[in-house]
A and B are shown apart, each in its own frame.
Chain A
Amino acid sequence: MPLSFDSVHEGDDLPQAKRTPTTLRVMQFMGASWMWGQQFFDAETAEKMGLPAPIIPGVMKQAYLDQYLRKWLDGGGRISRLQLSHRRPDVHNVEMTIGGAVTRTYEEDGANKADLEIFIDNPAGERSVRGAATVVFD
């Protein structure tokens, strides 16, 4: 059922979701975006850059968060702002936890809006992405 503005309150946690970007999916993503940074697929390059292994492109994680928020809205609104701060790398084939919380609900320019904090955590519970979003309800 589409999410309604009336059902959203400041302090609400969004249901968490799990994603595991496999090497195959990362390669497909790179092919579609033509982003061929070697740190995304080559272990030796990643190691030289001080990374634990080939990493997930930041914009792929941004797309995951876009999907996560649209699933939460379930057709009840749209994302007008999605902002991410990249704190730590995430690597291939490792499960990540995506979550968020409502920080503010308000009316602006005749539209019902909510501000959210959003995040991605790695399996160690470390925050790899910290972000914010604004959604506009129908």
Chain B
Amino acid sequence: MADDESLITPDMEASIGTEGDPVTISINPELVRRLVESLEEEDADVLAAIESDDPNAEIPAYALITAATRQRQLTVPDVPKRGLMAADEWRVEGAIHMGDTLTITPRIAEIQERIGGRVGHSLFVHHEWVYENQHGEVVARVRRTTAHFKDKHSGE
């Protein structure tokens, strides 16, 4: 394959915008407490919220990390196996509380490629997960970009 030949195949292009099956999770208070401890949280409001029985007490978006294993990445056809995590993004659109029930819908948001540059010919796959709460409100959009390289890459 010539270096300037696109890595984006027709099947790959067709997968852009594909949504996967939604999964429903709950924000487990005990896991959030453990996460907060691991992060040595000092914010008095957060510490009060995680010990509170108040269902309206807001907790940080990082509480979503407790559901990370349910945030499944969709398979993108023809994507090179060699790859690494390049970027993460959280867009927080609503409040998150202990005990919330959230529905996570995965999506292949975008695929881009870069020809040339510091790391050579590379492909960037943007995965997105939309978190919707029990009231039907979108509370967060989490985006992860994985980078895939045509040639060996040092990870730098």
Contact = CB atoms under 8 A, between A and B. Distances in A.
Contacts of A78: 92
B87 A66 contact: no
B13 to A, nearest CB: 25
A71 interface: yes
Interface residues of B, number: 32
A63 B62 contact: yes
Contact of A32 (B31, B46, B88): B31
Interface stretch (A3-11, A23-31, A99-107, A111-119): A23-31
B114 interface: no
Interface in B1-56: 31-32, 34-35, 37-43, 45-46
Given A32-B31, A33-B68, A83-B89, 10 more contacts: A25-B39, A58-B85, A58-B88, A59-B62, A60-B38, A66-B90, A67-B39, A75-B45, A82-B61, A84-B88
Interface of B: 31-32, 34-35, 37-43, 45-46, 60-62, 65-66, 68-69, 85-93, 154-156
